[in-house]
């Protein structure tokens, strides 16, 4: 467990930490409200607030709170000026980065092409440069960065912040991302997590999953993965491998997946499979629209182009989109029986190909899950869309500003 040089001084007692988390979640609160919510005595609240005020982590707000009978009470909120945090979403071909204040408000945001197949030093070098540029615009200093949250497209050993056997980015295996970043940002806690977990955190803190304790976030793009929110916290599994739903088998006679198995959901329903089926339909004259798009796009198609044709009413494209939704929904039906979540959030770049995808997913889940487990289940699109990763990374960093052991 590595810690940033300053993190020891910043360590919070459990009561302080829980008070901070409550204020972060619910906004500014009075002493009485904090005591009530957390079951703390007045003395515990008082001494924890004193320390948080002394460290300038929270501040007394100018406004007063709601009266509960007597005079209106003082309320305490996050001190947004304590310092900066950074959220980084590293994708296969790009990176998104945002600088935020201590309240999570985004101050600067930037997108940059990046190739995750390259050495981590190179990609992270770009990240460092982009953070420095954003900081300069805000007239900030390097040591004002309190935490950096980083989402990466691979399995992460969360407590150490390293990637384990990442298929997309083999050069990153065991690379000490945290220590590398802390050479420049000496005051920052650096937290690394799987990209889908980070998106789920984003939806949980600021999107479709707000105030929902148990949900599954499904990312549909080049691959398919899930982030699991369980009892209000991200569940990562025993080896950090939880949520790897793209390799659940949906057809024992299906095509071979890059993982070596056959019939994986990812190989049959993710972006490349949708594109391949679109190309097949274009070449077999099953769809004029797809054939036209195929020609216009230099003899190839993407899942997005198949989606465009579906939105324009093309029957073959629609069937491709629905078939993908049915397979994803069939897999999710099993997970609904097992996990009985309150919500499933559908996100990732390929989720944008249309509401027919969502509709097919919903139908398949309802058909194949038990009645009791779907009684209160909602299945919705992501609210944060393309920003889920970067917003989630900011919230991940905010959660760990004062953490010694991740």
Distance CA 231, CA 214 (A): 6
Distance CA 319, CA 302 (A): 16
Of positions 247, 322, 356, 362, contacts its own copies by CB under 8 A: 247
What is the pattern of x (binds its own copies, CB under 8 A) and - over residues 137-166?
Answer: ------------------x--------xx-
Q: Are 236 and 192 in contact (CB under 8 A)?
A: no
Distance CA 335, CA 245 (A): 9
- Candidate ranges 171-179, 284-292, 302-310, 367-375; the one touching its own copies (CB under 8 A): 367-375
Of residues 3 and 109, the one with the C-beta less far from its own copies? 3
Cβ 39 to its own copies shortest distance, Å: 6
Q: Which of residues 45-74 bind its own copies (CB under 8 A)?
A: none
Of positions 111, 368, 383, 386, contacts its own copies by CB under 8 A: 368
- Candidate ranges 136-144, 286-294, 352-360, 373-381; the one touching its own copies (CB under 8 A): 373-381
Give the angle 125-131-135 at the CA atoms, nearest 5°.
Answer: 145
Cβ 171 to its own copies shortest distance, Å: 18
Cβ 110 to its own copies shortest distance, Å: 32
Strand partners, 379: 344
Of residues 23 and 248, the one with the C-beta less far from its own copies? 248
Which SS3 state, helix, strand or coil, does residue 290 take?
Answer: helix
- Candidate ranges 106-114, 169-177, 293-301, 337-345; the one touching its own copies (CB under 8 A): 337-345
Which SS3 state, helix, strand or coil, does residue 195 take?
Answer: helix
Q: What are phi and psi of 366, to 5 degrees?
A: -65, -35
CB atoms within 10 A of CB 337: 15
Residues 6+ apart with CB under 8 A from 43: none
- Candidate ranges 45-53, 178-186, 229-237, 299-307; the one touching its own copies (CB under 8 A): 229-237
DSSP state letter for 187: T
- Candidate ranges 188-196, 297-305, 339-347, 381-389; the one touching its own copies (CB under 8 A): 339-347
Nearest to 348 by CA among 324, 376, 375, 312: 324
Return the C-alpha torsion angle 43, 40, 67, 105, nearest 10. 100
Of positions 5, 27, 170, 237, contacts its own copies by CB under 8 A: 237
Site residues for its own copies per CB under 8 A: 14, 39, 155, 164-165, 213-214, 226, 228, 230-231, 233, 235-245, 247-249, 259, 261, 330-331, 333-335, 337-342, 367-373, 375-377
């Amino acid at each position: 467990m590595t810690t940033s040089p300053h993190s020891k001084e910043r360590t919070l007692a459990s009561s302080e930490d829980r008070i901070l988390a409550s204020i972060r979640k619910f906004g500014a609160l009075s002493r009485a409200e904090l005591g009530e919510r957390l079951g703390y005595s007045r003395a515990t609240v008082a001494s924890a607030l004193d320390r948080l005020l002394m460290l300038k982590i929270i501040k007394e707000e100018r406004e007063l709170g709601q009266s509960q009978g007597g005079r209106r009470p003082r309320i305490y909120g996050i001190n947004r000026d304590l310092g900066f945090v950074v959220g980084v979403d590293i994708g296969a071909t790009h990176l998104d980065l945002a600088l935020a204040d201590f309240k999570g408000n985004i101050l600067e945001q930037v997108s940059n092409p990046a190739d995750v197949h390259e050495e981590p030093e190179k990609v992270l070098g770009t990240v460092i440069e982009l953070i420095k540029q954003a900081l300069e615009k805000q007239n900030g200093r390097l040591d004002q960065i309190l935490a950096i949250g980083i989402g990466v497209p691979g399995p992460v050993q969360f407590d150490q912040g390293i990637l384990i056997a990442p298929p997309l980015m083999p050069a990153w295996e065991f690379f000490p991302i945290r220590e590398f970043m802390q050479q420049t940002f000496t005051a920052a806690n650096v937290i690394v997590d799987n990209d889908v977990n980070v998106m789920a955190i984003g939806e949980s803190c600021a999107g479709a999953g707000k105030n929902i304790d148990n949900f599954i976030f499904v990312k549909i793009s080049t691959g398919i993965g899930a982030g699991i929110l369980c009892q209000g916290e991200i569940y990562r599994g025993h080896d950090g491998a939880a949520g790897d739903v793209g390799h659940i088998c949906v057809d024992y006679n299906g095509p071979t997946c890059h993982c070596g198995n056959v019939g994986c959901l990812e190989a049959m329903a993710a972006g490349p499979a949708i594109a391949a089926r679109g190309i097949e339909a274009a070449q077999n004259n099953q769809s004029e629209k797809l054939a036209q798009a195929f020609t216009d796009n230099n003899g190839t198609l993407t899942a997005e182009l198949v989606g465009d044709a579906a939105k324009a009413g093309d029957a073959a494209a629609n069937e491709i989109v629905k078939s993908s939704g049915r397979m994803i929904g069939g897999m999710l039906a099993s997970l609904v029986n097992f996990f009985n979540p309150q919500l499933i959030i559908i996100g990732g770049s390929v989720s944008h190909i249309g509401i027919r995808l969502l509709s097919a997913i919903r139908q398949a889940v309802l058909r194949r899950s038990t009645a009791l487990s779907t009684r209160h289940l909602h299945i919705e699109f992501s609210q944060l869309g393309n920003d889920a990763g970067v917003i989630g990374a900011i919230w991940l960093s905010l959660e760990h500003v004062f953490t010694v052991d991740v």
